[in-house]
Structure 1
Amino acid sequence: MATVRKGHLLPAIPAKYQVALVVISAALVLSAAMGIRQTFGLFVGPFSYDRGIPVTQIALAIALHNLVWGFAQPFAGAAADRYGCARIVAFGAVVFAAGLTLAALVPSGAMLVVGIGLLVGIGISCTSFGIVLTAVGRAASAEKRSLAMGLASAGGSLGQVLMIPLAQNVRQSSGIAISLLVLALLMLAAAPLGIVLDRRSAADATRVEPPAAPLRQVLGQACRHRGFRLLTLGFFTCGFQLAFIATYLPGYLFLCHMPVGLGATALMLIGLFNMLGSWACGWLGGRFRQQYVLGWLYLIRGVTIGAFFLLPKTSLSVVIFAAVMGLTWLGTVPLTSGLVAKVFGTRHLGTLFGVCFLSHQVGSFLGAWSGGFVFDTTGSYSLVWGATALAGLFAALLHFPIDDTTAHAPRLPVTPARA
Structure 2
Amino acid sequence: MISQRLSTHAMYRWVVLAAAGLTLGVAMGFLVNGFSAFVVPLEMYFGWPRAHISAINSIGLVGIAVGGIAMGFAADRIATRTICLIGAISLSFALLLASMSDELWQFYALFFIAGAIGGGGLFAPVIALVGGWFQKGAGLAIGIASAGQAVGQGLVPFATGYLIELTGWQDALATLGICAACILIPLSLVMIEPPKLATGTAAPQHAPQLISPKIILPAMSVAVLGCCTGMAVPLMHLVPLIQGVCGVGAAAGGPLLLMLVFAVGGRIFFGGLADKIGPLRSWMAATTWQTVLVSGFILLGTMQAFWLFAPLYGFGYGGVMTGVLVSVRALTPPERRASATGIVLAFGWLGHALGGWQGGFFFDLTGAYDWTYINAALAGTINLFIVGTIFIVLRKRQLATA
Q: TM-score, normalised by structure 1?
A: 0.85
Map of 1:32 onto structure 2 = 26
Is 1:351 the counterpart of 2:351? The answer is: no
Unaligned runs of 5+ in 1: 1-9, 213-217, 408-419
Greater mean alpha carbon deviation, residues 78-87 or residues 107-116? 107-116
3-state DSSP class of the match of 1:196? coil
Structure 1 residues 17 and 137, CA, compared in 2 at 3 Å: closer, same or farther? Answer: same
Map of 2:214 onto structure 1 = 223
Map of 2:282 onto structure 1 = 293
Is 1:178 the counterpart of 2:167? The answer is: no
Structure with the bigger percentage of helix: 2
Q: State which of 372, 392, 400 in structure 2 corresponds to 1:384.
A: 372
Is 1:56 the counterpart of 2:45? The answer is: no
Structure 1 residues 321 and 200, CA, compared in 2 at 3 Å: closer, same or farther? Answer: same
Q: State which of 122, 126, 148 in structure 1 corresponds to 2:141.
A: 148
Map of 1:373 onto structure 2 = 361
Map of 1:195 onto structure 2 = 189
Structure 1 residues 207 and 97, CA, compared in 2 at 3 Å: closer, same or farther? Answer: farther
Deviations 1:307-343 (A, max 9, x none): 332x342223212332123213342233222222222
Give the alignment of 1:112-261 within 5 angstroms: 112-128=107-123, 130-141=124-135, 143-188=136-181, 189-201=183-195, 203=197, 221-225=212-216, 228-261=217-250
Deviations 1:93-116 (A, max 9, x none): 111112211221122212111122
Is 1:396 the counterpart of 2:384? The answer is: yes
Whole-angstrom distance in 1 between the partners of 2:229 and 2:142:
22
User: In the TM superposition, what is the alpha-carbon distance from 1:258 to its structure 2 partner?
Assistant: 4.5
Map of 1:415 onto structure 2 = none
Map of 2:400 onto structure 1 = none
CA contact (8 A) 1:63 1:365 kept: yes
Whole-angstrom distance in 2 between the partners of 1:266 and 1:101:
28
Whole-angstrom distance in 2 between the partners of 1:127 and 1:206:
35
Is 1:281 the counterpart of 2:254? The answer is: no
Counterpart amino acid of 2:336?
A: H
CA contact (8 A) 2:95 2:173 kept: yes
Whole-angstrom distance in 2 between the partners of 1:164 and 1:56:
19
Whole-angstrom distance in 1 between the partners of 2:199 and 2:302:
55
Whole-angstrom distance in 1 between the partners of 2:14 and 2:190:
11
Counterpart amino acid of 1:148?
A: A
Deviations 1:383-418 (A, max 9, x none): 12111112223322222232457x9xxxxxxxxxxx
Whole-angstrom distance in 1 between the partners of 2:101 and 2:74:
32
Give the alignment of 1:300-339 within 5 angstroms: 300-309=289-298, 311-339=299-327
CA contact (8 A) 1:58 1:113 kept: no
Whole-angstrom distance in 2 between the partners of 1:179 and 1:77:
31
Unaligned runs of 5+ in 2: 398-402
Counterpart amino acid of 2:12?
A: Q
Structure 1 residues 355 and 206, CA, compared in 2 at 3 Å: closer, same or farther? Answer: farther
Structure 1 residues 204 and 230, CA, compared in 2 at 3 Å: closer, same or farther? Answer: farther
Structure 1 residues 207 and 135, CA, compared in 2 at 3 Å: closer, same or farther? Answer: farther
Whole-angstrom distance in 2 between the partners of 1:234 and 1:224:
13
CA contact (8 A) 1:98 1:115 kept: no
User: In the TM superposition, what is the alpha-carbon distance from 1:292 to its structure 2 partner?
Assistant: 1.5
Counterpart amino acid of 1:144?
A: G
Whole-angstrom distance in 1 between the partners of 2:95 and 2:130:
28
User: In the TM superposition, what is the alpha-carbon distance from 1:203 to its structure 2 partner?
Assistant: 2.2
Counterpart amino acid of 1:163?
A: V
| Aligned-residue CA RMSD (Å) | 2.8
CA contact (8 A) 2:158 2:250 kept: no
Q: State which of 68, 71, 92 in structure 2 corresponds to 1:73.
A: 68
User: In the TM superposition, what is the alpha-carbon distance from 1:194 to its structure 2 partner?
Assistant: 2.6
Whole-angstrom distance in 2 between the partners of 1:114 and 1:205:
50
Greater mean alpha carbon deviation, residues 77-86 or residues 374-383? 374-383
How many residues align? The count is 387
3-state DSSP class of the match of 2:152? helix
User: In the TM superposition, what is the alpha-carbon distance from 1:247 to its structure 2 partner?
Assistant: 1.5
Whole-angstrom distance in 2 between the partners of 1:378 and 1:361:
26
Counterpart amino acid of 2:125?
A: I
Percent identity, aligned pairs only, is: 22
Deviations 1:57-99 (A, max 9, x none): 2122111111121122111111111102111111111111122
3-state DSSP class of the match of 1:14? helix
Counterpart amino acid of 1:290?
A: P
User: In the TM superposition, what is the alpha-carbon distance from 1:137 to its structure 2 partner?
Assistant: 0.3
